[in-house]
A and B are shown apart, each in its own frame.
Chain A
Amino acid sequence: MLIVGELINSTRKAIAAAIEAGDRASIQQIAKDQANAGARYIDVNAGSFQDREIEYLTWLVQTVQEAVELPCCLDSPNPAALEAALKVHKGIPMINSISLEKERCEKLLPVVTANDFKVVALCMSDEGMPRTADDRIRIAEELVNFLLDHKIKLENIYVDPLVQPVATDQTFGREFLKSVEQIMSRFSGIHTICGLSNVSYGLPQRKFLNRTFMAMAIAKGLDAAILDPLDKQMMANVLAAEALVGRDNFCMNFINAHKAGKIVC
């Protein structure tokens, strides 16, 4: 499971304050904590500061990469901010995200095609949010084929089928899961990714619901996630699900995590 650490996001108040104050130490500590907890990419988002996003996103990349030897997941729909951040970025970043929305797609395509980057392909089009698995698969097919036509490698594509709250429509969870399964089987070698906390919006016991949903999604083939790696129970759950679904050779990851005291239930 490829974990993208989600914490350095300017929509969180503490992070926004740290960015504005130029507080390197705090940002670097959070980057390190996430790396130690198993993150393989560090998501960076400065989207709350519309007029200074370019400057702040660049600063985040530099600050994070001084502290950890990991690539970033550049979380912005703004090509100018991405380009500036890419200039200072070391290694192969993940671009979060492109979609079938015309404007977003046209602007971001040149950024992704020119390079061997990983890219998150969000199942969203100008027609709005997908509701059913069929909606998602239609968008995913069009978007993936479009990216392939533009010489982006299949294994660099991370399709995000988009998680929506079951509190507002009880079919949303099921339709998401179905779409993960179908996308993974239709495009052998592709990846699926998601930020899944939205699934529990409007309900009590959100963390518990999120963990349960994670296990279900892993069973369908989900192989990447944007989440809080400091959530120990969630991380334990990921390891357990991977072992149970046969994606952990001889269950060694799970056993080692247990020995290291990381399986917190």
Chain B
Amino acid sequence: MTDKLIHALVEMQETEALQQAKQLLDSGTDPMDILDACSKAMEKVGQRFEKGEYFLPHLMMAGEMLKQISDIIKPLIKEEKSTTEKRRVLIGTVKGDIHDIGKNIVTFLLEVNGFEVRDIGIDQPPEKFVESIQEFQPQVVGMSGLLSLAFDSMKETVEAIEKAGLREKVKIMIGGGQVTEQVKDYTGADALGPNAIAGVNLAKQWIGGK
């Protein structure tokens, strides 16, 4: 049923993809199934990129389509959520790093899974993470980084969170292309999410959600 949507997304047919998503919603498809289809499509796009069949603009465009679909679906999910206690995730790309395609996918999937997500953007210094934690009071913090130098920024950010006395209040997950278990240990984060679904699962494991 969602095959057409997946196909449209993978083949970069923007209008068609949006239309398919709307049609599916109108015909009563569970929003979660639509989102599931989206992440399947993203996986395929990623594979094509790795094989050299797709180029950077394909990743960007896929991200854009994802965002538009999420804008349609989010309101529907918000309703469901308001009944449960707020589960909040703060996410951002760490200092010195401007890669955000992966982070945006994680944000998207978290949101569609009912988490309230605040995305503080790219190249964010430790102070900004700390400030935002104080303001937003998340239970989970996600840090994204693709550059090797981002590992130090992640470590600094964890340290800053600790200094501010907030470390006990949040679980910290990290992710991004080059991040490994060793990096996780180095930075002092609680867990590593090799992909966006893993990120969602971590958040669920820590603070619940279906």
Task: Tell me which residues across on chain A come within 8 A of B57, comparing CB atoms.
Answer: 167, 202-203
Decide: B56 and A168 in contact? CB cutoff 8 A: yes
Name the residue among A165, A202, A203 with the largest chain B CB count within 10 angstroms.
A202
Q: How distant is the Cα of A165 from the Cα of B60 in the complex, in angstroms?
A: 12
Closest residue of chain B to A201 (Cβ to Cβ) is B56
**Among residues 121 to 149 in chain B, which have CB atoms less than 8 Å away from a CB atom of chain A?**
123
Say yes or no for A264: interface residue by CB 8 A criterion: no
Size class of the B contact interface (CB-based, 8 Å): under 10
Q: How distant is the Cα of A201 from the Cα of B55 in the complex, in angstroms?
A: 10
Expressed in whole angstroms, the minimum distance between the Cβ of A153 and any Cβ of chain B is: 34
Decide: B123 and A202 in contact? CB cutoff 8 A: no
Number of A-B contacts (CB under 8 A): 19
List 19 A-B pairs, Cβ < 8 Å: A128-B98, A128-B123, A129-B98, A165-B56, A167-B55, A167-B56, A167-B57, A167-B60, A168-B56, A168-B60, A169-B60, A201-B56, A202-B55, A202-B56, A202-B57, A203-B55, A203-B56, A203-B57, A204-B55
| CB 8 Å contact bits of B151-194 with A (1 = contact, 0 = none) | 00000000000000000000000000000000000000000000
Interface of A, secondary structure class, is loop
Task: Tell me which residues across on chain B come within 8 A of A165, comparing CB atoms.
Answer: 56
Which residues of A approach B to under 8 Å, CB–CB? 128-129, 165, 167-169, 201-204
Closest residue of chain B to A129 (Cβ to Cβ) is B98
Q: How distant is the Cα of A202 from the Cα of B61 in the complex, in angstroms?
A: 13
**Among residues 51 to 93 in chain B, which have CB atoms less than 8 Å away from a CB atom of chain A?**
55-57, 60
Task: Tell me which residues across on chain A come within 8 A of B56, comparing CB atoms.
Answer: 165, 167-168, 201-203
Q: How distant is the Cα of A167 from the Cα of B101 in the complex, in angstroms?
A: 13
Task: Tell me which residues across on chain B come within 8 A of A203, comparing CB atoms.
Answer: 55-57
Q: How distant is the Cα of A168 from the Cα of B98 in the complex, in angstroms?
A: 11
